[in-house]
Amino acid sequence: MVTDITGKTALHTAVSCGKNKVVQWLLCQGVSLNQRDWENGYTPLHRALFYGYLHVACALLKAGANFNVQDHDSLTPLDHVNFDRPPYVTFSHSLPTQIYVWGSNTNYNLGQTRQNAKGIPECLDILQREGQSVIDVAMNKFHTLFLTKSGHVYACGHGHGGRLGLSVHTPLMKPYMIKSFATTTIKMVSVGVDHSLFLTESGQVGSK
């Protein structure tokens, strides 16, 4: 395998730049997915996540990349993702948001219309297509709440017992706006197994 002076392959370079088409072509050539460079011990997956190219990371995972490989600092690719959580960085609500979901969707709480389980992160773009920028997500076993920059709340999942706040008791597979809060700005959301809590801009707490 041809490398540069730091041990990086063509795949390392392509993922570092987010060049998905080049990455896909290299994967078709049978390049090594888990080869570590000499400089940091990074695999291509380390670099994809380090530079924030989630679409490239998804392509590598689908091709069979190993996310348990450790670099020279004994860190896995997912360890690098955790470093980007607060207080290490400041999140700005003015930035575009993307939500990635994976796992079991048996309870319809992933916000997608397909119930089958997902082993690879997949972008949830339903709210983005509606022009909504999500700033917070609260998830529990049976339902999920999405809080938008405009202060609206969207819910999906099992509605039994009224936990969704949508006056329906049947499952909802995609997020729907809670219209009872349409004229109220919500600042924070929280969920339990059978209930939802909302903190308004005026400091009031509501429950469903």
pLDDT digits (tens, 9 = 90+) for 68-114: 899 888 888 888 776 655 444 444 555 557 788 888 888 888 888 77
Residue 113 has a pLDDT of 76
Sign for the pseudo-dihedral over CA of 37, 40, 43, 46: negative
- φ/ψ (deg, to 5) at 142: -110, -10
Residue 138 β-bridge partners: 145
Structure-token pair, residue 36:
């570590």
CA distance linking residue 4 with residue 2, whole number of Å: 7
CA distance linking residue 49 with residue 40, whole number of Å: 14
- φ/ψ (deg, to 5) at 69: -70, 135
Structure-token pair, residue 138:
């609260």
CA distance linking residue 144 with residue 138, whole number of Å: 6
CA distance linking residue 24 with residue 155, whole number of Å: 36
Residue 35 has a pLDDT of 92
Residue 21 has a pLDDT of 92
The span from the first CA to the last CA of the chain, in angstroms, equals 58
Q: Yes or no: say if 156 and 126 are a contact pair by the CB < 8 Å rule.
A: no
Q: Which residue ranges of the chain lie beneath pLDDT 70?
A: 1, 82-96, 206-208
Catalogue all structural domains in the chain, each as residue range(s) with its CATH number: 10-82 (1.25.40.20), 99-207 (no CATH)
Residue 87 has a pLDDT of 47
Residue 89 has a pLDDT of 43
Q: Yes or no: say if 12 and 38 are a contact pair by the CB < 8 Å rule.
A: no
Write the Ramachandran bin of 45: left for phi over 0, alpha for psi from -120 to 50, otherwise beta. Answer: alpha
The type of residue at 71 is D
> 150-154 long-range contacts, Cβ below 8 Å, gap at least 24?
150/185, 151/181, 151/184, 151/185, 151/186, 151/187, 151/201, 152/177, 152/178, 152/181, 152/182, 152/186, 153/177, 153/178, 153/181, 153/186, 153/189, 153/198, 154/127, 154/178
